[in-house]
Amino acid sequence: MTPQKPRILTGDTPTGRLHLGHWVGSVENRVALQDEYDCSFLIANMHAFTTRADKPGEIRESTIEIVKDWLACGIDPERSNIVLQSEIPAIVELSWYFAMLIPFNRVMRNPTLKTEIDAKGLGDHYSFGFPLYAVGQCADILVFRPELVPVGEDQVAHIEMTREVARKFNQVYCNVDPQTEDADSVSAGGLFPIPVAKVGRIARLPGTDGVHKMSKSLGNAIYLTDTPKQVKKKMGQIFTGRQTMDEPGDITNSLFQYVRAFIKDESRVKELEQAYSKGDNIGDGHIKVEVAAAISELLAPIQERRARFEGKGGDDLIVDVIREGIRKSNPVAEETLELAKQAMKLDFAPRTISFS
Ligand code: ATP
Ligand code: MG
């Protein structure tokens, strides 16, 4: 079961559909790295319950929609592993052990959790499970013992915590010297490689509110399924604060982050940046229309591939893909759990696990 290729693990929470932030932050890299790496892509459906425990139907629907989005983007289930978190028991078991390797206050200081609590308006009434998801995410990742984790910038703090947990496990249970370089952790006897975050071409795409990152939970997203008309309308909502066409504009604003993310022709991007920063008779509305057209051009082939799963029987095809993923990923996850339990002197009774 030793992998031929280095491994990748990353994923999405089924709290909606995929948007442009997912594409530029992570999915584009996933599609590109499928041949070079042994890839596992995880649907974090248990984590969706941390903020939506009362909406199981929505979580199930979103799980199916996200897998449709993945396949539409070019993720190929023949080459990559689709992992449904709730059917990988080893993840839950490892989460429990990992929770003992990380101080409670360290989890609560995680800046991504703090931002999410603010942005999602969770106040002080979030569930106990909400911060626990950050520990669970360490297990999602480490159970596949990956070297690389393609994510957007907001996830880097989580990957940092994962790295800390991996180092700690290797030191406490595998006798790895704390001075060991991360890259040498496995050759020094550690069970877990110290995974590295690979941030996408655009680290953090702002939402159409121009304030928060584009996020499926915040209603500020352009979805991969949006029609050209919807894209144009949403682009039109981006606020820049600029009043007239001859007012010099700020090319670090949200609109220009979209210009650089989606207009492919570099010389056109330069031209727009120069004209805008000089206030050279160029209106925001004109630029928004141009960006909207570039986005719709990017989305057209994705939507064309997605159409296959949208008709009758489409959901059944996706459920088959999910089931096959469960069958393929559990042996890998169980192998890691068995090795972890051996290292922790918990290897009392070997077990096997089966799925129909
Ligand atoms: P939620 O609002 O429920 O947290 P989300 O839109 O943040 O959803 P996630 O499922 O949390 O999406 O994130 C999946 C992956 O996409 C992560 O790697 C994350 O970093 C990346 N990502 C999400 N939004 C953006 C964005 N706006 N820019 C770049 N990357 C992003
Ligand atoms: Mg998120």
CB 231 within 8 A of CB 299: yes
Nearest CA to ligand 1 atom 13: 12
Q: Which ligand is nearest to the CA of 151?
A: 1
User: What's the CA-to-centroid distance between 312 and ligand 2, angstroms?
Assistant: 31
Report whether residue 216 contacts ligand 1, using a CB cutoff of 6 Å.
yes
Q: Which ligand is nearest to the CA of 206?
A: 1
Report whether residue 59 contacts ligand 1, using a CB cutoff of 6 Å.
no
CB 226 within 8 A of CB 214: no
The atom number, within ligand 1, closest to the CA of 154 reads 20
Strand order in the sheet with 148-151: 81-84, 38-43, 7-12, 148-151, 196-199
Query: What is the CATH number assigned to the segment(s) 7-204+313-343?
Result: 3.40.50.620
> Within 13 A of 70's CA, how many CA atoms are on the CB side?
31
Report whether residue 155 contacts ligand 1, using a CB cutoff of 6 Å.
yes
Structural domain boundaries in the chain: 7-204+313-343, 228-307
Q: Cβ of 150: how many Cβ atoms within 10 Å?
A: 25
Domain 228-307 indexed as CATH 1.10.240.10: yes
pTM reported for the whole predicted model: 0.94
Digit-by-digit pLDDT tens for the chain (356 residues) are: 555 799 999 999 999 999 999 999 999 999 999 999 999 999 999 999 999 999 999 999 999 999 999 999 999 999 999 999 999 999 999 999 999 999 999 999 999 999 999 988 999 999 999 999 999 999 999 999 999 999 999 999 999 999 999 999 999 999 999 999 999 999 999 999 999 999 999 999 999 998 899 998 888 999 999 999 999 999 999 988 888 888 899 999 999 999 999 999 999 999 999 999 998 888 999 999 999 999 999 999 999 999 999 988 999 999 999 999 999 999 999 999 999 999 999 999 988 888 87
Say if 7-204+313-343 and 228-307 have the same CATH topology: no
The atom number, within ligand 1, closest to the CA of 155 reads 20
